[in-house]
Amino acid sequence: MKACPLFLAGLAIATLAGCATSSTRSMKIPIPQSTDATARQGAVFQLRQPWQREPDAALRPSLVRLAWSPKALLVEAEITDDEVTTKATADNQKMWELGDVFEAFLQIEGNRDYVELHVTPNNKRMHLHLPGVGGKASDGAVPVPFEQMLVRHVGFRSTATRTPTGWRVTMSIPASVFRVPVFHPGLALRVSFCRYDAAATGEPVLSTTADHPVIAFHRPHEWTPARLVE
Instruction: Set out the domains of the chain in order of their start, with CATH numbers.
Output: 12-229 (2.60.40.1190)
- Predicted confidence (pLDDT) per residue in 41-68, tens digit: 999 999 999 999 999 999 999 999 999 9
pLDDT at 142 over 60: yes
- Predicted confidence (pLDDT) per residue in 147-168, tens digit: 989 999 999 999 999 999 999 9
Mapping DSSP onto H, E and C, the string for the chain reads CCCCCCCCCCCEEEECCEEECHHHCCCCEEEEECCCCCCCCCEEEECECCCCCCCCCCCCCEEEEEEECCCEEEEEEEEECCCCCECCCCCCCCHHHCECEEEEEEEECCCCCEEEEEECCCCCEEEEEECCCCCCCCCCCCCCCHHHHECCCCCCEEEEEEECCEEEEEEEEEHHHHCCCCCCCCCEEEEEEEEEECCCCCCCEEEECCCCCCCCCCCHHHCEEEEEEC
* Structure confidence at residue 172 (pLDDT): 98
* Structure confidence at residue 200 (pLDDT): 76
User: What integer best gives the mean pLDDT of the chain?
Assistant: 87
